[in-house]
Amino acid sequence: MSSWPAGVIAAGDDHNGETRTPIRHVIVIVGENRTFDHVFGTYQPAHGQSVWNLLSQGIVNADGSPGPNFKKAQQYEAQLTGPGRFSMAPSNKAPYGTLPAPNTGGSPTAASDASPPPFASHDAAVQVEGGALEASDIDQLLSGASGLPKDVKDSRVANYNALLNGPFLLQPPLYDAYMGGPVHRFYQAWQQSDCDVGHASRENPSGCLGDLFAWVETTIGAGSNGKPQPTPFNDQTTGEGSNALGFYNVNNGDMPYFAQLARQYSMSDNYHQPVMGGTGANSIMIGAADAYFYTDGNGHAATPPSDQIENPNPLPGTNNWYTQDGYSGGSYSDCSDASQPGVGPIRRYLQSLSYHPKPNCAPKHYYLLNNYNPGYNGDGTVLDRAKSPYTIPPSPVRTIGDSLLERNIPWKYYGEGWRSFIKDPSTSVYCNICNPFLYETSIMTNQQVRDTHLADLPDLYSDMQAGTLPAVSFVKPGGLLDGHPTSSKFGLYEAFVKKIVDAVKSDPKLWATTAILITTDEGGGYYDSGYIQPVDFFGDGSRIPMIAVSKYSVGGRVSHGYADHASVVKFIERNWGLPPITERSRDNLPNPVQRSDNPYVPVNSPAIGDLFDLFDFHRDSDDHAHSDGHHGGEESSGNGGKGWWPF
């Protein structure tokens, strides 16, 4: 059992004087599965600000219709007939005429109290989620069922059978609907990005085109049924179609609360999911700024069962149907070995880039690339892999939790449904794969640490009310409120966030010292037009939302500094004077230096910012110049190192 210095600091103990800025509390709220363009594709910033999105690129017009540069986002289909090798950038591709029809996937057909979402009755919704939402928002849990069977063409989408080849608008009624979700797995995401230096330009030096989203969706998708499909494929093979190309329009009233926050505070249009793929690996990065690997259960690297090792090489007689993938198949790769399936193409691509990013793969380590259960139950016992084989063994990898514990800085991970998860995981809305600390031996084998630092959502509000909110808080909604398109709705995530923001702002003392960072775990496989900077084997991936809410972030600023989830770790470390988590974690990367004529591309790649450029720490309570020295002097992303806005 791991041990910490005697007397682990209680979560509410005051270490406010040790910060380098006026921020004494940072609250990180993480939703699910939306890219920046999917949410903010038509966002128009305040005067004097600029944004990179579908609208500014001319891909769509303000009403969501195809714009003059619509072809910039056109999608291609390819032929990659097995047996063969995984290709990140197939050469024999041709543009679609019309897109494959989007699909309902696993979205719910009808309301039901027995198997929500959505609920059939108000009382049932209140019983499950009454503490997480305001009363006025509960009824959002009663609407949005598709009225259609699962895995059929989604006729709710306008022109679903004749979609033009590019992003398509999800009309306003669909903002309040459960939708089929795109694939968001590791090798699929690399392939959808279509990265090759042969595609590179000054604006896009990584050469990632993002033009194979629909093709990967319809040829392999999530691979969840594990059965090879015949070639040629059709648009119903995987139950996805072209779901990835759907987007919402803030000008039509979609995303109303997030649009309000963006206009009132600050946001990034260059914040990325750190890993190609889905929730598990990206959530791990929020805590560790690194990837977890398969172990023998005692902290030593080991080889996983052969049926859990990824093999994206296409099977004979198929077009791109992976040999081993999907939730019932592989999830690990030894990315130190270029001869391993799928590994070689990615390593060769990284080496071909002008800045030669290191893969950051330790020898003979099989890294988790997708979603597996954490190795621990909520009570600290080891999860039985005989009963749950798709479980990563206990992890020895350090997290920001370890760094905070060593400096006696209070922190908590507030996950909705934690208490019920401890008692019976099968009945809880808790997201176990979302908690990076639930995988880690040093956290989970110490009862005092577990009891002090792992908490439920009601504890967040009670800690606020008692004045004992810790310095660092990670907040995760449950599966019904996290904004996941198939099992939640983005309006529910907005409502979840709004209740927290309102609670902080209602306490003047807390509001004066708090930064709320609002994001999603990853993009959910949705299309995004932004630049991708490969920093290692694992990613980066698509842009995702990041909004900073604080009295030090007012003004509607849009930051272009390059960032990903490791930036949250870097913000915490810079604010509280902590070193990087380990010698290999991404928080060792420098803050980006970016050209004024192309601010999205770091000239010192690989580089990841620390989010200080989202704040103006010279602003006091009256929005006048601040003079108490609470600002860093080191370089910060995109603003010459000021740690505040360059007005």
| pLDDT interval class at 170 (50, 70, 90) | very high
CATH number corresponding to 16-109+146-614: 3.40.720.10
Within 481-596, residue ranges assigned H as helices are: 490-505, 508-511, 566-576
Whether 565 shows a pLDDT value over 80: the answer reads yes
Interatomic CA distance for residues 255 and 42, integer angstroms: 11
169 falls in which pLDDT band (50, 70, 90)?
very high
In the chain, domain spans = 16-109+146-614
Q: What is the pLDDT of residues 404-447, one digit of tens each?
A: 999 999 999 999 999 999 999 988 899 999 999 999 999 999 99
**CA quadruple 559, 562, 565, 566: dihedral positive or negative?**
negative
pLDDT at 3 over 50: no
Is residue 324 a contact partner of residue 330, using CB atoms and an 8 Å limit? yes
Q: Do the Cβ atoms of 83 and 314 come closer than 8 Å?
A: yes
Report the C-alpha gap between 459 and 419 in whole angstroms: 10
pLDDT tens string 460-469: 999 999 999 9
C-alpha span between 383 and 388 (Å, rounded): 7
334-346 residue pLDDT tens: 999 999 999 999 9
DSSP element (H, E) containing 452: helix 447-453
Q: At what angle do helices 279-288 and 566-576 cross, to 10 degrees?
A: 20
Tens of pLDDT, residue by residue over 90-113, are 999 999 999 999 999 999 999 999
Is residue 647 predicted with pLDDT exceeding 90?
no
In whole angstroms, give the CA distance from residue 6 to residue 10: 12
**Distance set, CA 217 to CA 185, 236, 429, 562 (Å):** 11, 10, 28, 28
> Quick one: pLDDT at residue 327?
60
Of 410, 389, 527, 563, residue with least CA distance to 474: 410
The verdict on pTM exceeding 0.95 is no
Tens of pLDDT along 503-544?
999 999 999 999 999 999 999 999 999 999 999 999 999 999
Per-residue pLDDT reduced to its tens digit, 284-315: 999 999 999 999 999 999 999 999 999 999 99
- What average pLDDT does the segment 240-268 reach? 96
Looking at residue 237, its pLDDT comes to 62
Percent of the chain with pLDDT over 90: 83
- Is the pLDDT higher at 329 or at 85? 85
Are 199 and 208 spatial neighbours (Cβ–Cβ below 8 Å)?
yes
The band of 496, judged by pLDDT with boundaries at 50, 70 and 90, is very high
Average pLDDT, the chain: 90
- What is the per-residue pLDDT for 42? 98
Of residues 542 and 633, more confidence is placed in 542
Across 367-380, average pLDDT:
95
Share of the chain above pLDDT 70, in %: 90
pLDDT score for 597: 87
Pair 603, 593: CB distance under 8 Å: yes
Q: Do residues 2 and 442 make contact, with C-beta atoms less than 8 angstroms apart?
A: yes
- The C-alpha atoms of residue 549 and residue 455 are separated, in whole angstroms, by 23
What is the phi-psi region of residue 605: left when phi exceeds 0, alpha when psi lies from -120 to 50, beta otherwise? beta
Q: Give pLDDT tens digits for 44-72.
A: 999 999 999 999 999 999 999 999 999 99
Task: Give pLDDT, residue 257.
Answer: 98
